[in-house]
């Protein structure tokens, strides 16, 4: 099982690409990733296997279940495939960048079965709240 761990500061380049931290890339076997809206104002990043496992959980929910349909729509409508280039960068899609209010500085965090990309200031505020838990 892959585990995404750690916290890393990075910045988007002028083409809206971010270099994934080496320790995050080491957990990814292929060049394709899935990015989607997180439940907080961040972007979820999954390798293909982790995405398929996560998707299967939601696809097991009957289509007749209203909350299940809402969650499926939320996750799948925002999801996009991206490729890691030779320099370890991914292009952050405009709709996801806007959702997470990302302009330039980001924090990439490991979150177990996936990683997350946060606007740096938003992550700093959120992290302070975590310390109070």
In a domain, 23, yes or no: yes
Structural domain tally of the chain?
1
Residues 123, 93, 44, CA angle at the centre, nearest 5°? 45
pLDDT at residue 59 in the model: 85
Domain at 41, CATH number: 3.40.1550.20
Is residue 2 domain-resident? no
Residue 133 has a pLDDT of 56
1 within a domain of the structure (yes/no): no
Residues 6+ apart with CB under 8 A from 77: none
Separation of alpha carbons 91 and 78, rounded Å: 15
Instruction: Classify residue 94 as exposed, middle or buried by CB count within 10 Å of its CB (0-12, 13-18, 19+).
Output: exposed
Helix and strand numbers (H, E) in the chain are: 5, 8
Please tell me the predicted confidence (pLDDT) of residue 129: 84
In the chain, which residues have pLDDT < 50? none
Domain interval for residue 75: 7-131
Over residues 36-55, the pLDDT tens digits come to: 999 999 999 999 999 999 89
pLDDT of residue 62: 84
For residue 70, the model assigns a pLDDT of: 92
- 3's tokens: 């585990």
DSSP character for 53? Answer: H
Predicted confidence at residue 47, as pLDDT, reads 94
pLDDT digits (tens, 9 = 90+) for 103-120: 999 999 999 999 999 999
């Amino acid at each position: 099982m892959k585990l995404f761990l750690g916290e890393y500061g990075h910045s988007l380049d002028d083409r809206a690409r971010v270099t994934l931290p080496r320790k995050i890339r080491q957990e990814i076997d292929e060049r394709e990733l899935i990015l989607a809206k997180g439940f907080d104002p961040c972007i979820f990043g999954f390798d293909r296997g982790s995405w398929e496992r996560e998707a299967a959980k939601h696809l097991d929910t009957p289509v007749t279940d209203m909350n299940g349909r809402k969650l499926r729509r939320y996750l799948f409508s925002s999801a996009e495939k991206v490729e890691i280039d030779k320099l370890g960068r991914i292009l952050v899609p405009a709709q996801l960048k806007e959702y997470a209010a990302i302009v330039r500085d980001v924090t990439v965090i490991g979150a177990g079965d996936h990683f997350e990309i946060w606007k740096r200031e938003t992550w700093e505020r959120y992290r302070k709240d975590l310390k109070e838990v």
